[in-house]
Amino acid sequence: MPTHPAPSRAPLAASALALAIATLPLGACKTGGNAESRARDVFRMRQEEAEAARRSLAFVREGQRFEKIKNLPKALESYKQAVDAYPESPLAWNNLGRLYMMQGDNMEAAAAFQKASELSLADPVPVHNLGALWESMGWPDDAQRYYNEALQRNADYVPSLYRSVLLDVQRNKVTDLTQQRLKRALFLNKDPDRQQHLLRAQVRMRDGSVDMPADGARAQPSAGLDADSASH
């Protein structure tokens, strides 16, 4: 039976190199022989960045596995390694902030969430977590400001809809916007405990006869990985 040679990776590498050349600044392409050398440098740097991002994500997932077995010191170490591996990862910074918050290191948590927010300007998760942090510290006005900012980034982000509604109801500051957010949260939410709190908020908004739970509605930071399915 005739044998066929393995497909060469050369065409892929050549295509990537051509793309690197095409994305160089116009002036660089006019310098003759230097263009290909610079393109190779760009290509190499992009490969290194992609590898760093992969290592960072692996450390994040390792940290989450440690969280599941309640080994928070190991989880914190993994998230620090994720940040060290790729400092441009908002996911790594956000999860590092969560661990700091869980351990009561609020200033480090705030700095990590802020960094994550700056690295991913469209992501509501780190901004929401800043709100959860300030709420846990007893600063509801600041918390609401961050929940509002998170909802500006994504109007359907359920954790921020939920926290925003509960804060307004708990402080008797219900507005038309609160009512709108409650309806949206009830429609989008799939978490049974959260749904119960929202329904209690709805009853209280209607007739004021139901107290909001103090412990069951405590703010928690969101992980920002795999669609935040378990975050509050």
The answer to whether residues 151 and 178 touch, using CB atoms and an 8 Å cutoff, is no
pLDDT band at 47 (very low <50, low <70, confident <90, very high): confident
Same-domain status, 154 and 96:
no
Task: Indicate the residue among 61, 87, 120 that finishes a domain.
Answer: 120
Cβ atoms 134, 103 nearer than 8 A: no
Residues 113 and 153 in one domain: no
- Give the domain extent around 178: 122-227
Residues 6+ away with beta carbon under 8 Å from 53: 86, 88, 89
Can you give the CATH number for the domain in which 191 is found? 1.25.40
16 has pLDDT over 80: no
**Which residue among 120, 141, 166 closes a domain?**
120
- Position 230 scores a pLDDT of 32
pLDDT band at 138 (very low <50, low <70, confident <90, very high): very high
- Is residue 133 located within the same domain as residue 88? no
User: Is residue 19 assigned to a domain?
Assistant: no
Q: Check whether residue 220 and residue 207 sit in a common domain.
A: yes
The pLDDT confidence band at residue 135, using thresholds 50, 70 and 90, is: very high
Pick the last residue of a domain from 90, 120, 150: 120
Q: Is the pTM of this model over 0.85?
A: no
Alpha carbons 212 and 204: distance in angstroms, whole number:
8
In the prediction, which pLDDT does 218 show? 59
Give me the number of domains the chain comprises: 2
Q: What is the DSSP letter of 7?
A: P
Per the prediction, the chain carries an average pLDDT of 82
pLDDT (tens digit, 9 = 90+) per residue, 82-100? 999 999 999 999 999 999 9
Q: Please indicate whether residue 107 or residue 172 has the higher confidence score (pLDDT).
A: 107
Check which CATH number belongs to the domain holding 45 and give it. 1.25.40.10
Whether 81 and 132 map to the same domain: the answer is no
- Whether residues 107 and 193 fall in one domain: no
Q: Name the pLDDT band for 36 (thresholds 50, 70, 90).
A: confident
Q: What is the pLDDT of residue 88?
A: 95
* Contact (CB, 8 A) for 35 and 21: yes
Same domain, 81 and 102: yes
Give, in order, the Cα–Cα distances in Å from 74 to each of 38, 88, 109, 174: 41, 22, 17, 42
Give the residue carrying structure tokens 């939920």. 162
